[in-house]
Amino acid sequence: MEVEKGFYKNQPRMVLFEITTRCNLACSYCTARQLVKEPKDLEIDKIRELRPALEAFEYIAFCGLGEALIHKNFYEILEIFKDKKIVIVTNGSVPIDYERLVRYDNIDAITFSVDGATEDSMKRVCSRYKFDVLLKNLEEGFKYGVNCAFNTTITEDTYKELSGIQDMIVKYGVKCFKLGLPLGKERWVSDHSKEIHDALYKIRDNMKELSVIYEDPFEVKCCCDNAPIAVVSKNGNLYPCCDYFCGRPLVGNLYHNSFMNIWNKASYEGFREGKFCSRCKQYHNVKEIADQEMA
């Protein structure tokens, strides 16, 4: 996915909606956990109240600084968004009730964050990980015909697991494999870029052969359909970009304004003009490493 000139001016079609900051795990590389002081669910009534302000988005992606599937009203929340396309990003370690999940026939995709191919390797990322639950979720996802993707963060522990993860992709009919680099570990990435690139070449070819959509870690991850992905945090705050570390501004609050009103305000202007993207540290850091090795 290339950043096209002027894509910043396109209105976002997808929003990452943080319905909880609670999590059942504590993954070793997770920056999200460090940012949360008092983990909480956003009450379902507050989610109902926010619903009209989210009308402009075609896709609602349940993803934030926690694990959406442990929200105590998760399946009732799906009803509130039954006319939207739903994306779920999950650690896979929470049993999924597929019968209730597919009730409104609007699940666009489930992205499972899979950083290891065995119980032991997943437990190295988080000792509380339930690998049997992940496997059952994947098996049932396949049976129910739900579009499943893997998101793997390449770290010291996980990048040696890539071959086993590819076997899981084949076994469970996973449609898309997204690789990411660990934020906050740029030094490690830089020091190991040769090994990482060597592993990537092979994966790219394998995925092509298997007709699995492949997202390279050096690709820009912050856009969907040539528009940036917005974020709504648990308190209704709206951010124009899904990258927590890019210095994105707060552009409004959806309890006080609709998305379209905020989009047309001066506070969004700087972002729409590309001011933040053109100097984005995340994007440029990554690009430098990619150019250096892939040229």
Ligand X SMILES: C[S@@+](CC[C@H](N)C(=O)[O-])C[C@H]1O[C@@H](n2cnc3c(N)ncnc32)[C@H](O)[C@@H]1O
Which residues of the shown chain bind ligand SF4 in the complex (CB under 6 A)? 23, 25-27, 30, 32-33, 66-67, 91, 113, 220, 222, 228, 241, 243, 246, 248, 276-277, 280, 282-283
| CB nearer to ligand X: pick between 30 and 42 | 30
| CB nearer to ligand SF4: pick between 27 and 196 | 27
Q: In what order do the strands lie in the sheet with 59-62?
A: 213-215, 176-180, 148-153, 107-113, 85-90, 59-62, 14-17, 230-232, 237-239, 252-253
- Beta strand pairing call for 237-239 and 252-253: antiparallel
| CB nearer to ligand SF4: pick between 259 and 276 | 276
Residue 251 vs residues 230, 260, 264, 276: alpha-carbon distances, Å: 10, 12, 11, 13
Contact positions with ligand X (CB under 6 A) in 203-262 = none
Contact positions with ligand X (CB under 6 A) in 26-65 = 29-32, 63
112 closest CA partner among 158, 63, 71, 78:
63
Letters for 90-129 (x = contact with ligand X by CB under 6 A, - = none) are: xx---------------------x----------------
Q: For residue 220, which amino acid is it?
A: V
Contact positions with ligand X (CB under 6 A) in 162-181 = 180
Least distance (Å) between residue 89 CB and ligand X: 4
63 contacts which partner out of ligand X, ligand SF4, none, CB within 5 to 8 A by kind?
A: ligand X
268 contacts which partner out of ligand SF4, ligand X, none, CB within 5 to 8 A by kind?
A: none
182 contacts which partner out of ligand X, ligand SF4, none, CB within 5 to 8 A by kind?
A: ligand X
Are the C-beta atoms of 148 and 172 separated by less than 8 Å?
yes
| CB nearer to ligand X: pick between 184 and 247 | 184
Token pair 């934020």 is found at 183
User: How many Cβ atoms sit within 10 Å of the Cβ of residue 50?
Assistant: 18
Residues 85, 14: Cα–Cα separation, whole Å: 9
Rounded to 5 degrees, what are φ and ψ at 123? -70, -25
Stretch that binds ligand X, among 23-31, 75-83, 136-144, 269-277 (CB under 6 A): 23-31
**Residue with nearest beta carbon to ligand X:** 113
| CB nearer to ligand X: pick between 17 and 263 | 17
**Residue with nearest beta carbon to ligand SF4:** 280
182 part of the interface to ligand X, by CB under 6 A: yes
User: Can you spell out the DSSP letters for 172-224?
Assistant: TT--EEEEEPPTT-HHHHHHTHHHHHHHHHHHHHHHHHHT-EEE-TTS--SEE
Q: In this structure, what token pair is assigned to residue 251?
A: 């552009």
Least distance (Å) between residue 209 CB and ligand SF4: 30
Stretch that binds ligand X, among 24-32, 131-139, 140-148, 203-211 (CB under 6 A): 24-32
**Angle CA 212–215–217, to nearest 5:** 145
23 closest CA partner among 74, 66, 61:
66
- Where does this chain bind ligand X (CB under 6 A)? 23, 29-32, 63, 67, 89-91, 113, 151, 153, 180, 182-184
